[in-house]
Amino acid sequence: MPAPLLTLQDVHLTIGTTPLLDGAELFVEPGERLCLVGRNGSGKSTLLKIAAGMLEPDGGRRFAQPDATIRYLPQEPDLSGYPDTLAYVAGGLAPGDDISRAHYLLGMLGLSGSESIDALSGGQARRAALARVLAPEPDILLLDEPTNHLDLPAIEWLEGELTAMSGALVLISHDRRFLERLSRATVWLDRGKTQRLDRGFSGYEAWRDQLLEEEERDRQKLNRKIVAEEHWVRYGVTARRKRNVRRMALLGELRRERREARRQLGQVSFSVSEAGSAGTRVIEARGISKSYGDKPVVTDFSTRILRGDRIGVIGSNGAGKTTLLKLLTKRLEPDTGEVIHGTNIALVTLDQSRALLDGQASLKEVLTGGHGDKVEVGGQMRHVMSYMQDFLFLPEQAGTPVEVLSGGERARLLLAKALAKPGNLLVLDEPTNDLDLETLDLLEEMIDEYPGTVLLVSHDRDFLDRTVTAILYAEGDGRFTEYAGGYTDMVAQRGGGVEAAKPEKEKKEKSAPRAKADAPRRKLSFNDKHALEKLPGQIDKLSKEIEKLHAELADPALYAKDPSRVTKLSDRLTAAEAERTACEDRWLELETLREEIEGK
């Protein structure tokens, strides 16, 4: 068995008064492929920095073989001090390393080498940093969230590059598919300690759950033992005369063990605030286009999005995904074409930019808007401390400035802020960045159970497979193609991944409602034409009545003053909502038929 290239033993580190690492260990052998997993805030990035020799622990031992080359990719690389990307990447090479590899990697990552460091976007900086750590072909490569800010073509290229490398790899990532394909062993960091599984990430979650179940059984035994000891202290004959010092010390130790066990983090609790039901048709785009200068970003795009749809938008960086979302949500006007929204649309957005958070503001101020101790969630007031705990923030963090939060904590804070707003159209732009796997699981469940409509941009293939019902893929030159299902379904339909050759003959059929795609073709009768003209007015009239009924029923005094009227209003509300749904369905059927007849 070869000697480890890198060894961390019994590592301890305390941040403030909180022990972050408490006996953590890490052993990296030649050619090993490790994934390091654990919750946000568990110390994964800190442990990786100690492994890289960038951070000194309070206690423990770090040993690296003297001739081993180690390269480390942080979550937020610092490129300052270099004039351009080539100089930055070359700065990571050792004497004798081949500069041509730096050129090759930059080219494969979509950079020329002449880009000014000051003008780089977040995605370009991440690509340059990847090229810098890959170029020397190190013996150990330490990567902290390498897929953040990368698009799908770059992620799939990186997978191939890392698979082919001969050196050892230690990887932190929230991307399940990436972890499954690259890891052969798993190190779980939990409550300051590490446990190792000699299998890749695909076996991690079942193993973790088994360990937690065993721990719960041990905790129950510990609780029973504490009860027995407390009974002796209170009622034992010896205790009435002179308390036995040894047994009192044992009781104190048992209680300490229970406190330590309870340090395990709780579960994130997502509750989504819904703002009443939208109509059946949520968004319809008709031939919309948008260009910036001579560059087409969206070209002649049409679709119809219905209530309950979950649409994923994917493609290369700069392909127009965010622009398309802004057009569909009317935050941006198209150059040509039109976007029509259905009734009662209430939009809630989660932007990918962490810059939306004021770094000087405290966590409490962000959630309350700087006013008081309450936050409005779904129309009801909740104490900010209670709401914070739903997203795994401790009460003592209320005054913590945003600028000192980790990337994962800032991601959770943005989610908390966005999900407090009532809405029925949820737009998520890169929601998975920096989230831990457990939080991702709960976000997926929330999207699955969300009663409204969801539009999301993501490069996480597993997340897309678990959440969306259709994919809009940016083919290039502003063209978007719709595929039914998730990412894996899209690959099957395209005959390959995101780098697959485009079909020889482009399909230019307009999107039709998925539920009504097989409607029979016939002519519009006089009554059909009349209904098509009158139905929008009926829908609007019913929507106003429904809004008025909701307002009346929201009056608490009504229930005590006139119970019979409450029953009458409730019955009418149910009937009106049923009438509106029937009108919307009928209008949708007739509008689809009209477009089919007219060849649209």
Token pair, residue 488, equals 């894996």
Question: Which residue, 462, 479, 511, sits at the end of a domain?
Answer: 511
What pLDDT, on a 0 to 100 scale, did the predictor assign at position 508?
39
Q: Would residue 54 count as lying in a domain?
A: yes
| Most confidently modeled range among 17-21, 82-86, 204-208, 515-519 | 82-86
Q: Structure pTM?
A: 0.66
**Apex 522 CA angle, 517 and 524, nearest 5:** 110
Binding site for ATP, by residue number, is 38-45, 315-322
pLDDT at 555 over 90: no
Same domain, yes or no: 118 and 15: yes
CATH number at residue 162: 3.40.50.300
**C-beta pairs of 484-489 under 8 Å, 24+ apart in sequence:** 484/514, 486/312, 487/312, 487/314, 487/461, 488/461
Instruction: Identify whether 547 is part of a domain.
Output: yes
Query: How many structural domains are present in the chain?
Result: 4
pLDDT of residue 18: 73
384 belongs to a structural domain = no
- Determine phi and psi for 274, rounding to 5 degrees: -95, 140
| Residue showing tokens 């750590």 | 133
Q: How far is CA 490 from the centre of its chain?
A: 20
More confidently predicted of 106 and 384 = 106
Task: Answer yes or no: is 50 within a domain.
Answer: yes
Asked if residue 512 has pLDDT above 50, the reply is no
Count of beta carbons in the 10 Å neighbourhood of residue 176? 22
Task: Give the end of a domain, one of 452, 484, 511.
Answer: 511
234 plus 244 within the same structural domain: yes
**Strand ranges across the sheet with 193-197:** 70-73, 140-144, 168-172, 33-37, 185-190, 193-197
Q: Which amino acid is at 585?
A: D
Q: Are residues 16 and 84 in the same domain?
A: yes
Same-domain check for residues 177 and 97 = yes
Quick check: helix, strand or coil at residue 309?
coil
Residues 67 and 141 grouped into a single domain: yes
What is the domain range of residue 288?
A: 281-346+422-511
More confident: 571 or 282: 282
Say whether pLDDT at 16 is over 90: no
Q: How confident is the model at residue 32 (pLDDT cuts 50, 70, 90)?
A: very high
Domain containing residue 533: CATH number:
1.10.287.380
> What is the identity of the amino acid at 502?
K
The b-or-e profile of 78-102 (16+ CB within 10 A means b, else e) is ebeebebbbebbbebeeeeeeeebb
Q: Strand pairing partners for 171?
A: 35, 143
Q: Are residues 89 and 215 in the same domain?
A: no
pLDDT band at 519 (very low <50, low <70, confident <90, very high): very low
Q: Judge contact between 433 and 75, C-beta under 8 A.
A: no
User: Are residues 153 and 175 located together in one domain of the fold?
Assistant: yes
Which phi and psi angles does 43 have, rounded to 5°? Answer: 110, 15
All residues at 6 or more sequence positions from 173 whose CB lies less than 8 Å from its CB, including other chains: 35, 143, 145, 146, 147, 179
Higher pLDDT, 74 or 123: 74
Does some domain include residue 373? Answer: no
Q: Which two tokens stand for residue 61?
A: 């031992």
**CA of residue 411 relative to chain centroid, distance:** 8
107 and 141 within one domain: yes
Given a contact cutoff of 8 angstroms between Cβ atoms, the answer to whether 34 and 24 are in contact is no
Each residue's pLDDT tens digit, 235-279:
454 444 444 555 555 555 655 555 455 444 455 555 555 555 556
Residues 427 and 295 both lie in one domain: yes
Helix (H) or strand (E) holding 88: helix 85-90
Share of the chain above pLDDT 90, in %: 31
Task: For 331-378, write each residue's pLDDT tens digit.
Answer: 999 999 999 998 888 888 876 555 567 778 888 888 888 778 888 776
Give the Cα separation of 443 and 68 in Å (integer). Answer: 40
Q: Which of 45-49, 319-323, 486-490, 508-512 has the lowest mean pLDDT?
A: 508-512
111 and 169 together in one domain: yes
- Mean pLDDT across the stretch 420-447? 80
Lowest mean pLDDT among 179-193, 496-510, 540-554: 496-510
Cα–Cα distance for residue pair 338/548, rounded to 1 Å: 30
**Do 92 and 48 belong together in one domain?**
yes
Domain membership of residue 395 (yes or no) is no
For residue 415, tell me if it sits in a domain: no
Mean pLDDT of the chain: 80
Tell me the pLDDT band of 289, cut-offs 50, 70 and 90.
very high
CB 274 within 8 A of CB 451: yes
Tokens of 481: 């193609």
| Inter-residue contact 314 to 464 (CB < 8 Å) | yes
pLDDT band at 84; cut points 50, 70, 90: very high
Are residues 589 and 499 part of one domain? no
Known binding positions: 38-45, 315-322
Cβ burial 370-383 (10 Å sphere, 16+ → b, else e): eeeeebebeeeebe
Is the residue at 21 inside a domain? yes
pLDDT in tens, 207-242: 888 888 887 777 676 666 656 655 555 445 444 444
